[in-house]
Chain A
Amino acid sequence: KQEVTQIPAALSVPEGENLVLNCSFTDSAIYNLQWFRQDPGKGLTSLLLIQSSQREQTSGRLNASLDKSSGRSTLYIAASQPGDSATYLCAVRLMPSNTGKLIFGQGTTLQVKP
């Protein structure tokens, strides 16, 4: 059974710091891995999607890496800002992928202090 774990559960950093969020999964037979952001009382916003054949994806100040063999992904946020404060969720899409089923971690709640 696929399990997704995110460490740490919560993180507080001063503005301007570079930071890394971690995601691990138990079964390497994944189709892709997706990072989401969730603001309080809101739905999820997709940040980055990494296909199983890829090693990383970048969007602005965000960089996500994937090491399928070790069952790990990291989300790197450069020069953090107070507006980055949110809960960050990672999710893996299982193989076979014909149901689109995602397995989520519990998330890392990030607070960036001005």
Chain B
Amino acid sequence: ETGVTQTPRHLVMGMTNKKSLKCEQHLGHNAMYWYKQSAKKPLELMFVYSLEERVENNSVPSRFSPECPNSSHLFLHLHTLQPEDSALYLCASSQDLGTGGNQPQHFGDGTRLSIL
């Protein structure tokens, strides 16, 4: 039980498809994150949201479009992806971004994305 739920767990899509990844956290946290985990590369931060506002875009291509409608939900909309975008996409949340506390980030189990 992680408190952070991601759906779907697996997704196979063609390069011209449009799909969305969903993340939901039940921890009452204010900050949410998208990470990409590719084979043989370190985990890479993609986006950070705090109180539904995007505070970090780590040079991510525009074919990835995040959306945070409220502090419990985070989406990653996918459009015209490339084969190199195949990876495990992980969502995380933390209490907040402030320096007043050292809150750990809590991760979901990820969506395994394969681009044909």
Contact = CB atoms under 8 A, between A and B. Distances in A.
B56 to A, nearest CB: 5
Interface size class of A (residues with CB under 8 A): 20 to 34
**Secondary structure of the A contact surface, majority rule:** strand
Contacts of B42: 4, 103-107
B68 interface: no
B71 interface: no
Interface residues of B, number: 31
Given A97-B99, A101-B48, A34 B105 contact: yes
B97 A44 contact: no
Interface of B: 2, 4, 6, 31, 33, 40-45, 48, 50, 55-56, 58, 90, 92, 94, 97-99, 102, 104-110, 112
Interface of A: 4, 31-32, 34, 36, 41-46, 49, 51, 89, 91, 96-107
